Amino acid sequence: MSGLIPTIGLEVHVQLRTQSKLFSPAPNAAGDQPNTRVDVVDLGLPGTLPVINARAIALAVRAAIAFGGEVQPVSHFARKHYFYPDLPKGYQISQYEDPYCRGGSVPLGNNRACKLTRIHLEEDAGKLIHTDAGTLIDLNRAGVPLIEIVGEPELHDPADAHAFLLQLREIVRFTGVSDGDMELGSLRCDANISMAAVGAPLGTKVEIKNLNSLKMVQRALEYEIRRQTAVLATGGLIRQETRLWNDEQAETRPMRSKEMADDYRYFPDPDLLPLCCDESLIANERANLSELPAARRERYRTTFGLPEHDVTVLTSERVLGDYFESLAIAAGEVKAASNWVMTDVLQAVRDRNLALENFPVKPAALGELLRSIARGELTMVSAKQAFARMLDRGEDAHTAIETLGLHKITEESVLAPLVAAAIAALPAATADIKRGQMRALDALKGHVMRATRGRADPTAVDRLLKQQLGS
Amino acid sequence: MSVSHQLGARAIAARVQSGELRASDVAQAHLQRIRELDPQLHAFVELWPERALQSAAAIDRAQRSGQTLGPLAGVPVAIKDNLLCQGQISACGSKMLERFVSPYTATAVARLEQLGAILLGRTNMDEFGMGSSTERSAFGPTRNPWQMSHVPGGSSGGSAAAVAADFCPLALGSDTGGSVRQPAAMCGVTGLKPTYGRVSRSGLVAYASSLDCVGVIGRAIEDVALGLQIAGDDERDSTCAKRTVPNYLQELDGRKDLRGIRVGIVREFEEATGDEGIKLAVRTAQEQLRACGGTIVEVALPSVKHAVATYYLLASTEASSNLARYDGVRYGHRTAHTRRLDELYEQSRSEGFGAEVQLRILLGTFALQKGYQDQIYGQATRVRAMLAADFAYAFTQCDVLASATSPMPSFALGSKLQDPIAMYWCDALTVPASLAGLPALSLPCGFAVERLPAGLQLTAPKFAESLLLQVGSVFQQQTNWHLQRPLS
């Protein structure tokens, strides 16, 4: 049925990367044995009171600035009531009428953006684990700090919803606000969608939950557009409801109505003072924020002239880009720095399961190594050996090169006998070369390289080989 | 050594510090008296004799080794059943929490112990603090030591009765709408509700969070001053005031008369005090304050006529939220009759909560309903703000307010149980200070009729506890009501 356009709004829950929970000193960390990361506050024991985690507020403010929202000088926490076994207090502490941030937007690429209604702070609920023996409760997640980012219903294409989430995820990761992992649940999305004719008022809104990846969001929205279009085409009415996405069946199904509370009886939480975000906190987080990924990508393209692949890899994580930039300065060479970061550095991070924040080879040390290569003092093979030692022992480049004796051998008096030995050792290859099969030169060169543990200057070896073979 | 159960907290601490008395003997003597007399009174829900004697022995050892002891060293105290104490049951007067053993200790209780006090046990109360007679306890009522057929007031009726019966010179209660002051008045003892936020609420089982205060009950004002030393900031309670805490006992010595003190008589409070005996006792007390050098001024609190309605709406609203956690899932009473989730909630709560608690949860739930919220909850918060403004204006004309604590003396057990509205009116004179977050003190000031005490309520601006205690101290220097005993 043509003429109908979808209108999509997204609500995204983002877990904040704090040490402890939003209102209790219990650690905020996924995993571990059930109910081990809990405090009396998280269990909702009698007499317990919430105390706000200043670090969570700082990260929430940082997110607000990153999305260009307006941080409210004063906001309030409210209690949202419903009964469910994963909610120990019988209410969730959230923000209702006075969120800490209003407005802002998420970039969609190509100079487009989706406006945000608001961002508010709230605590996460626990988890239910359904087993054959019955339902179990794990409250490790209860009280984990969340921000809920509420987008305006102004998207009209599931692909835009995908772009919205992609960009949002990148920003929260890049700014250190969150791990932003949809599979692990540190980033969760609910979508709402309605269909209406162009120019007509918005149609009936359907909410979709259980969207655990970017792909699922897009597929669920595409499915829902087909479903609603079909219903409307046959003269049916869309029911206002919440539907759950079933990824295996690739369809949405109505959520059982008892899982929805219709009146949360919000009221201001009397246990908490109004939340005040003063100018110094905002200024501080603005300083912590630095550059956002889009701006950084643009700078890597234009200022550094890096190819698109390098730009994408280096801006995937803030620390990676930071390391690259320090290295580029230390090495005095952009492309070489980029190559080393994308290959050797990232591989070491992966192989040795390291965090880039405390990578044993600092950009200054690696820069020194790159400068040695640029000056022709080191072959690439030797450089990799030096790098391995620097990784193992935390030595600087100079020490590693000296200790391993890696300086390039360019002297003809040293190399000439080695070239002669190679020719003598590999008569078959020598014969091939004489027949004009120049690829066999590589075998001879390799022989010399092995004899010098990679230190022989390849150009000098080339020249001597040609000399001695008389070709 | 025989220990007089009539000794006050200050006297006990001084003698324990000097070695004249052993804390163990003091504890033993008080436990003995409780065992003899409490079966009739039922002030205590549970005694902790082992814990008490262990703590007392530790105080005695510290004394012998020459350590400096706290200002409440060896003083036996009782705590209301809604203040948590690690390893002990805190049942809050409810079947819901009948077997709930607390894994942590309330800040107020921990500080009491740090000051050297010996915890004797937990005292009876109206379920979750909801009541004015202690008849709403799941564990049976407490009786008034002055008149066994009568109620001790509530909800801290157990603590007030325990102090009146000389079971302990000091007890902790909690006051949401008068729950320390009203039973203190009805039992003829001294009770202080501090400024909201003066004492940490951490570990006090919440009834109405914006009103709940831990309060102190004693016989003499100096003991209440000592007990208030539990005040002060607490990182576990964001609403707790970050203000320094004066030495309240020392501040008492600063004043010998009331010269320069303007005592406000509230027109609306006088009109609301219906009982002739109470009226007469309070008028006499006000006259005594003037005789001590105070100046009497008449002030008005026009919004006070809405205070009871406002209080019951706000308190019930917060209660409906605070009590949502008692759902039978993680702790507390769980029904044995179903495993279906919605029925589990419904039946656990229906079985675990008493009638008054259920009534208030329903009222509070209604007040927050979509569509009614602004008309009911919103309106109540606006009236509350008006009332606070009335008090602020009154305190430009006077320094303390003097009124009756309760408009009526204690009444016979069962006589008001069928009439919740009549019961709520017991709180007409106490809820205004609660709504405004002000400190208020109830002092014994005579008898409405024979063996039914009357209470004088003094109210002061926020954080003026020292002034309240000073005025109370001057009053007690001139009167001997606080020295009268219901039981020998």
Q: Where are the alpha helices (DSSP H) in A243-317?
A: 279-289, 293-302, 308-314
Task: Determine the residue type at A165.
Answer: L
Could A81 and B321 be called an inter-chain contact, meaning their C-beta atoms sit closer than 8 Å?
A: yes
Q: Does B318 touch chain A (CB under 8 A)?
A: yes
Catalytic residue among B155, B316, B410, B434: B155
Q: Does B284 touch chain A (CB under 8 A)?
A: no
pLDDT of residue A471: 56
Under DSSP, is residue B267 helix (H, G, I), strand (E, B) or coil?
helix
Distance CA B439, CA B412 (A): 29
Q: Is A322:A328 a contact under the CB 8 Å cutoff? A: no
Q: pLDDT tens for residues B347-391?
A: 999 999 999 999 999 999 999 998 888 899 999 999 999 999 999
Hey, of A39, A41, A48, A137, which one would you mutate to test binding to chain B, going by the most B CBs within 10 A of its CB? A48
Find chain B residues with C-beta within 8 A of A88's C-beta: 325, 330
Whether B348 is a known active-site residue: answer no
ipTM of the shown complex: 0.96
Buried/exposed code over A138-172 (b: 16+ C-beta within 10 A; e: otherwise): bbbbbbbbbbbbbbebebebbebbbbbbebbbbbb
The pair of structure tokens assigned to A114 is 């989706």
Task: Determine the residue type at A449.
Answer: M
Find chain A residues with C-beta within 8 A of B330's C-beta: 43-44, 88, 137
Cβ burial, residue A179 (10 Å; 0-12/13-18/19+): middle
pLDDT of residue B254: 78
Q: Which of A110, A107, A114, A120 is nearest to A76 (CA)?
A: A120
Distance CA A412, CA A468 (A): 12
Half-sphere exposure of A43 toward its Cβ, with a 13 Å CA cutoff? Answer: 17
Distance CA B468, CA B60 (A): 34
Q: Does B102 touch chain A (CB under 8 A)?
A: yes
Q: Å from A143 to nearest chain B CA?
A: 15
pLDDT of residue A437: 82
Distance CA A191, CA A207 (A): 6
Q: Which of B208, B155, B146 is nearest to B409 (CA)?
A: B146
Global confidence as pTM:
0.89
Q: Where are the alpha helices (DSSP H) in B204-293?
A: 221-227, 248-252, 267-272, 276-291
pLDDT of residue B422: 85
Half-sphere exposure of A207 toward its Cβ, with a 13 Å CA cutoff? Answer: 12
Write down all domains in chain A, each with its CATH number in brackets: 4-279 (no CATH), 291-404 (no CATH), 412-469 (1.10.10.410)
Instruction: List all residues 6 or more positions away from B265 whose beta carbon is below 8 Å from its beta carbon.
Output: B286, B296, B297, B298, B299, B401, B402, B403
The pair of structure tokens assigned to A343 is 């290959």
Distance CA B82, CA A47 (A): 8
Task: Determine the residue type at A372.
Answer: S
Q: Does B190 touch chain A (CB under 8 A)?
A: no
Half-sphere exposure of A327 toward its Cβ, with a 13 Å CA cutoff? Answer: 25
Q: Tell me what percent of chain A is helix, strand and coil, each rounded to the nearest 5.
A: 40, 20, 40
Q: pLDDT tens for residues B272-325?
A: 998 999 999 999 999 999 999 999 999 999 999 999 999 999 999 999 999 999
Q: Where are the beta strands (DSSP E) in B72-135?
A: 76-80, 118-123
Whether B80 is a known active-site residue: answer yes
Stretches where chain B sits below pLDDT 50 are none
Distance CA B5, CA B145 (A): 15
Strands B295-299 and B262-266: parallel
Distance CA A56, CA A23 (A): 9
Could you say which of A40, A85, A88 has the minimum Cβ distance to residue B104?
A40
Rg (CA), chain A: 30
Phi, psi of B176 (to 5 degrees): -105, -40
Which residue from B minimizes the CA distance to A23? B236
Q: Which residues pair with B442 in a beta bridge?
A: B191, B457
pLDDT of residue B48: 98
Whether B179 is a known active-site residue: answer yes
Q: Dump the DSSP string for B393-454.
A: HHHHH-SEEEEESSSS---BTTSSTT-HHHHHGGGTTTHHHHHHT--EEEEEEEEEETTEEE
The pair of structure tokens assigned to A425 is 């050792």
Q: Å from A80 to nearest chain B CA?
A: 9
Could you say which of B84, B320, B330 has the minimum Cβ distance to residue A47?
B84
Catalytic residue among B174, B179, B303, B434: B179
Q: Does A263 touch chain B (CB under 8 A)?
A: yes
Q: Is B88:B79 a contact under the CB 8 Å cutoff? A: no
Distance CA A97, CA B427 (A): 33
Residue with structure tokens 């949809």? A182
- Average pLDDT of adjacent 10-residue blocks, chain A of 471 residues: 85 97 93 91 97 98 97 97 96 97 94 97 96 92 97 96 95 93 93 93 93 94 96 92 93 74 88 96 90 90 94 89 94 93 93 88 92 85 89 88 82 87 87 83 87 86 85 56
Residue with structure tokens 């020392």? B250
For chain B positions 76-95, those within 8 Å of chain A (CB to CB) are 82-84, 90, 92
How many other β-carbons are positioned within 10 Å of the β-carbon of residue B66?
6
pLDDT of residue A375: 85
Buried/exposed code over A202-223 (b: 16+ C-beta within 10 A; e: otherwise): ebeebbbbbbbebebbbbbbbb
Hey, of A130, A271, A275, which one would you mutate to test binding to chain B, going by the most B CBs within 10 A of its CB? A271
Write down all domains in chain B, each with its CATH number in brackets: 9-255+458-483 (3.90.1300.10)
Distance CA B388, CA B433 (A): 8
Q: Which of B74, B140, B454 is nearest to B274 (CA)?
A: B454
